[in-house]
Structure formats: C-alpha cells, structure tokens
Structure 1
C-alpha cells in the first residue's frame, strides 16, 4: 500500500486530541518521512507538533546531524529540541541496547500528561525484530515484536508506520524530494540487526517478495495471542491467594501460594508467574529464567530456601509460599537508633515508624512516658512474652509461629523501652507494654 499523509492520519485515529505530539527525529529517511507527513496534516490535528532529536554523540558528524535536523524543522515550521545522552552501560548490554535505553529515557522526560511520542519504525523493522526474537528463542511476548501503540511515560508511544515498508517510505521521500542523513553505522554488519538487514533479509525477500508484510502480520497475530495470555494471567491472579506478611513498607515482598500455583498446568504456571511478576512492576524475566524459576524454585522441596535473582529482582521460597521483592541490600543488625518518640524515624531500609502506628499494633503509649526508646534488630537470644500469651518465647520461636521468612527476621525493627524489649514491629507487643497489660 503506498504511503501518504492521509494514511498516517488514519493510523493516528483516536489520538488526534493529544496536547502534544512528539516526533522522535533522527534525521534519517524514516523519521523524515514521518515528520514531513505530519506537517502536511497538522491542520487536521488538535495537537501541537514538536520534534526532538537525540544526539548519542557516537559519530564525528553528530553535531552536523543535529544542525541538519534543526534546519529541516525550521523549514517545516515545527518546534525543534535536541538533547545529548551519554551511554553508561555499554559494556553490560551492548552499544545498540544502551543507545536505545538512553534514547527512550531522554524522550520520556519531555512527555507531559496525555502526550504522544511517535517513532518511525516500519514493516521491515518489524520483520527484523521478529527474526531477532526468533533467533533468541523468545516466547509469545517477544515474538509480538514492537506494539503499534503502548503506554509510555505520561502518555502513549505510537509507531504509525508499521504497516508500510521501507520501499514505500522511500517512494514518498523521493516524490517529495526529501533530504535525509545516512548514518554509516547502519551499514555495520557486526551488529545483529544490520547483519539481518543487509545479508539475510534481501535473500528472503528475493524468494518471498511480500516477506516484510507477512512477518509483520505474524507479529500482529503474536500480539493478539499475547493479549489473550495476559488476560488469562490477570484472571488467574485474581483467583489466586496473593497476600503479604509484615508488609511494613511498599517494597516488601508479595506472596504467591505455591500449592495453588502447582494445581495449574506447567504452561499455565509459567504464564501466571510472568504476569505476577509484571503486576508488581518488576522486570519480566527471560524464558530461560522463567523456566529456572518454575523448576528450581517452585518445584523445590518445601524445606529448602531457593533464591533466584535477575535485573534487581529476587524470588525466594519459604515453606509453601513464593516471595518476590527487590534484591535485598546489606543490613547492619548492630545498629541502635535512639528515638525521642515524637518524630517519625526513618530506618536504613526506608521504613518509617511513628508511635501512632505502633499504638495500632497494641502498644500502650502511656507506658512510654519518661522512658528511653531505642530501635534495635535481632542479635540472637531475645525473648518476649507476647501480651495475652502464656509463656515467654524466643524471637526465633515467635518468628516461626508467625511464618516470618528467615531473610526477614534480622530486618524487623524491635522497640526497646528502658533496655527492655517492648514490641516486635508487625508481630506483637511484649507483656507489660500492651494496652491491657
């Protein structure tokens, strides 16, 4: 299908009222076509158009490219902004991924509520992405490739050219005599995408001329399948026993019942685990890590305490429960915090304590007047007779009775009054300090 400005307008349907439309403008042919076509339909849009150029400062001509983009935007009367980003994690993730991450992070900073970001990926890009995901052994989410629209920052990210091929965009650029930048790095076949683009895809296209459209269609089918899986995962999570224990701050772990999880088929387990992790706002693991989670953690013996970490996330097992949390930072159990009892006190892990909240746990504030308050952590050997209970018990025993996982026990604040244990935060008040004691 030939590309024109009205085709673009149709692909923006439903988003014409956005406050601003930001065009990610690299100066290359694809983004120039997008920019030019938008300039032709601006009168049919309620949005203010703005172009933004991300300078990765990776090429000697980067400054000239910036000036070229500014000049084109001036000719089209589109406000232009440029920002330079630095790549801090190239060694870890590779230059392509690092540049992409830095680019989108910079773009997100310009988005206001309800704004739209447009990028110029097309059908050939989509076909390449699908091929790369296939070669990585990706599952359905990866094979869905790039979504036509998705939530981004405070608004939306749209890719309105995904239904058009590179050749169709080139025809538009030629007819309108557009001038664009050719980035020599796009020809460097040391990069996987460029190798596919220049070596593999031309051979496939020679045999199957409609290949870009066909692979893009497959990606759309995968996107639909992924949506169905996501909906199924959401429904399954709603029926699962998801809870929390001793959740004294928002980043504390959420819990999933392994017994209920194992009642599902292996495929349903993986789908539910993926959406459980996603629901917590955590990075979704690769298929390989998900398999490891399923077989090494979920199916571990009930008396083991396996741990799996990836990208700042960790999942642990304790008894018949699965816990997800941010990777635990080192914790100094020897610290002692003197507290006046009047102000809120912030602990090293970010937990905020105040007496009003501790009163809700049964602590009698009248018994604290004129006393010395300290916050400590478990050292070993502590005992407490929980108010209303029969006898004194060790903290270890109380933690076991309360099903407190071992890794949390040394992190639970203990309130001491005149050097006497008065409260185990979230677990119980010691005798003599309760409202009825």
Structure 2
C-alpha cells in the first residue's frame, strides 16, 4: 500500500495554514490524522473543518466526537452548521454538497489548501454517476485530484487508495471514527450505486477497481491532451477575453464545448453541467443577431453564478465567484 503521508507532504508549505474537511467518518479521519502527522515535519498549521448538516439524530454526537478527536491530537477545529431539512430541491444530496462547498470557499484565503478524503471507490461511484447523466470526456475523467476552489486550492490525495485501504490504516493506527447510518439509505443516488450496483459488480469482477481506475486515467489523459491543444485554438478566437462567436461556430459542436470549457476554466468560473453545455451550444450560440441574449447557470444567492452575454458578435462571461 502507498504510504499516505507521502501523498500529502508535497502539497504542504512551511508556516502556512492548510484545512481538512472533517466529517468524522473513516475517510476524513485518516486524512486528518495523516495531514497532522505530515505537518509536524513541515511546520505548517492544520485546521479541521466540521460541517454539521443537522439531518441525523446523531449529528450532535458526531460533532462532539470530532471536537474530542481534534483535542486528543492537538488540532484546531472550525465548526459550521446548517439545517438540511430547510433545503428544497430535486436532490437533497446535491444541495447539501453545494452548501458544504460554499462554506469551504468562504473559509479559504488566496492559495490556501483544503484537503478532502475522496478515495478510489468515490472515483468509481462518480464515474458511474456521470456516465448515467450522459457526461462527456471531462466528466468520465471523474474526480480531479487538484482544482481551484474559490480563492484557494482543493487537494484530494487519496484517489489511488480504496476505502478498504483507509479502513485498514484506521485499524492499524487505532483511529476512532463515526459511522453515518445514512450511507445505507438507497434513496440517495450515490448510496444506491454503491450498495445496489457496484457491490454486485465487485462479486462478478473482483478486480474492477484496477480496471476502472485505468479507464479513468486514460480518459483524463485524453481530456488533458485535448485541453492543451484547444488552448491554441482558443487564442485564435479570443479578442480581449471575449469569444468571437462566428469563429467559434466554425468548429463542430463537440469541439465548441471543449473550447468553451477551456475558456471558463482559465477564468476559474464554475463549469456548466453537460446538459447546460448542450443547451448553450445548440440554442444560445444560435440566437438571432438582433438581440443581446444572456445565458445563466448557478445562483447569485449561493455565490456560484455565471452569466454569458453575446453583444456585437462576441461572447463575454461574468461570475460572482
């Protein structure tokens, strides 16, 4: 097994503060412990962030556990909470995730790092989830190991370790953690995939993790290559950070999507879903020249708003991120 500390140390900076998303579960517990141990050598400050969703009758106990764990290991804990039963929408799961990430973004200052404990099994769940939503090459690259998050940087060092690897580390190092009973609730999409679909795949194809990990890596390499080659093409259609729409429309629709994603990524804006991107290229780009249309995704209130406008043949983008 890979030494988890070796996956963390390259990202730490001396005399800087880094953050760890800490739920109290086994993934984030092992991560927080290993970041804390690695930080001793680098002399950087470690702050755990615990978000109480207040959706379980055990939420208060989990928060107390996190407080106790941090005290035992001499780590700083920042606590936040929100009432998940106040959230309304098609997917409580995605709304809670969005709320968490909004909190993380507000905490991070420029170039500060947040570590998250996503692992290989999370990668595979995400792959299935995105394939079922019809995601393209970028989506099938699954979870990125590193990306911008607000003013800071999100790092996921455990994407090559399985859930079982993390459980084994926790046992070996006698780390206490909590079990979230909602992980068995198959009303949540990810739990359904994990408990009803992937569990059956594992029985028929025991080496599925290795095969799908290679598939994800290959897709990522392909997307990275396309992204790099499209960067030069993007320069040819940009004028003062605005896209010349007529030049963009000379490319086929799939390459248009790559160019638009590349453009938005360079601005560190929230990227559209595959469904939104499809609507953008099919409808928005073909709006009549006599109008000055705009195309929006995200929410101003939630701080993830992106607006595209076409004026005099050029498309601009603005965001409140």
Tell me what 1:223 maps to. 220
Structure 2: gaps spanning 5 or more residues? 299-305
**Conserved 8 A contact 2:17-2:45:** yes
- Residue 237 of structure 1: SS of its match in structure 2? helix
With structure 1 as the length reference, what TM-score do the two structures score?
A: 0.64
Tell me what 1:11 maps to. 7
Counterpart mapping for 1:284-433 below 5 A? 284-299=271-286, 305=291, 307=293, 309-311=295-297, 313=306, 315=308, 321-325=313-317
- Residue 261 of structure 2: SS of its match in structure 1? helix
CA RMSD of aligned residues (A): 2.7
* Structure-2 separation of matches of 1:318 and 1:117: 38
Tell me what 1:70 maps to. 67
* Structure-1 separation of matches of 2:150 and 2:267: 17
Structure 1: gaps spanning 5 or more residues? 245-253, 328-437
Tell me what 2:112 maps to. 115
Deviation at 1:161, TM superposition (A): 1.1
Shift in alpha-carbon separation, 1:24–1:280, aligned structure 2, 3 A: closer
Q: Identify, as 1 or 2, the structure richer in helix.
A: 2
* Structure-2 separation of matches of 1:165 and 1:228: 27
**Conserved 8 A contact 2:264-2:271:** yes
Shift in alpha-carbon separation, 1:204–1:240, aligned structure 2, 3 A: same
Shift in alpha-carbon separation, 1:77–1:282, aligned structure 2, 3 A: closer
Deviation at 1:194, TM superposition (A): 0.1
- The correspondence for 2:31, drawn from 25, 30, 34, is 34
Deviation at 1:72, TM superposition (A): 1.1
How many residues align? The count is 311
* Structure-1 separation of matches of 2:12 and 2:318: 39
Q: Bigger relative contact order, structure 1 or 2, given CA contacts below 8 A and separation 6+?
A: 2
Post-superposition Cα deviations, 1:204-263, rounded to whole Å, max 9, x if no partner, equal 11122222233233223222222222223321121115258xxxxxxxxx45241x2233
Shift in alpha-carbon separation, 1:315–1:171, aligned structure 2, 3 A: closer
Deviation at 1:60, TM superposition (A): 1.9
**Conserved 8 A contact 1:126-1:215:** no
Tell me what 1:274 maps to. 261
Tell me what 2:21 maps to. 24
The structure with more radius of gyration: 1
Shift in alpha-carbon separation, 1:177–1:13, aligned structure 2, 3 A: closer
**Conserved 8 A contact 2:237-2:243:** no
